[in-house]
Amino acid sequence: MNTQAAFDDLNVNYEFVNEVMAAQNDWSKRAVKYNQLDWVNRDILIKGMLDVIDGYHPGRALDVGTGTGKILKAIKGKYPKCECWGIDCSEEMLNRIENKENYIIKNVNAVNLSGIDSDYYDLVTARMVFHHIEEPEKAMSEISRVLKPGGLFIVCEGNPPSIRSIDWYTQMFSYKEERRTITEIDLINMLIEAALEGVTTKTIIMKDCSLNDWLMNSGIPSENIEVIKKLHYEAPAYIKEDYNMNFSNNDCFMDWKFSVVYGYRNN
């Protein structure tokens, strides 16, 4: 089916787009199908983060915004003796962590880690959480505080595929959730401003990501799903090019860009 025919099946009119309210984050709904999301279960992001740790051997690690514990599980699997902590502001997400006895789990917000001692962790990770944090500077200050001197911080975020796509990306996501648009440069600056050293970045491209899988497993209202589909099917040519969009089987497949940025707390 070609692009126009697929779009026609959606039966969404232009006026309706302007009437749909921006989506609010409802973690009780999102938690239900979070572990079914294709991107969550692909190894490429976890491997991209854990490759940074090769040879590091952390004794104590914290995963910020741990959600259902995917990163915790990966760290514990690679370093069984590591004391692994996970924090998240959503109790519904934390309730879906398997084998909780293997970890120390806290229902707290990243902007206030006052219950954790300074200089405590060898490693802090944060996958796909900073776009939800309202006060990222406070969160980074807290992360820097709880890191030991020489400790490693690794952050992974999804990015617009190009500078020219930022406005479209931001508009599209406003119908999915409350979030900040974060570029690779934003992440680099965030770590530098937190006085981390040796800041390094690498780009990960996750290929052939299904729009339908993403929308149907993200706890989004059906009206918003239709609008987001419309934005993809009627995206400008440069957006389709930047995402390498391919329309088939009533779905849109894309290449998504992620950045893994890391640095060390100075001594």
Q: Shortest CA distance to 204 belongs to which of 46, 48, 43, 37?
A: 48
Token pair listed for 71: 């990163």
Q: Tell me which of 221 and 15 has the higher pLDDT.
A: 221
Q: What is the mean pLDDT of the chain?
A: 90
Report the distance separating Cα 15 and Cα 92, nearest Å. Answer: 35
Expressed as residue numbers, the domain containing 16 is 3-265
Domain tally, the chain: 1
The pTM for the full model equals 0.89
pLDDT in tens, 34-55: 888 888 888 899 999 999 998 8
The strand pair at 251-265 and 147-159 is best described as: antiparallel
Check: CB of residue 102 under 8 Å from CB of residue 158: no
pLDDT at 199 over 50: yes
Q: Mean pLDDT, to the nearest integer, of 249-262?
A: 97
pLDDT per residue as tens digits for the range 148-179: 999 999 999 999 999 999 999 999 999 998 89
Residues 87-134 have pLDDT tens digits of 999 999 999 999 999 999 999 999 999 999 999 999 999 999 999 999
Examine the pLDDT at 246 and tell me if it is beyond 90.
yes
Whole-angstrom distance, CA of residue 177 vs CA of residue 220: 8
Mean per-residue pLDDT, 233-244: 98
* Cα–Cα distance for residue pair 210/252, rounded to 1 Å: 6
Domain with residue 95: its CATH number is 3.40.50.150
Residue in 230, 201, 164, 246 with CA at minimum distance from that of residue 20: 230
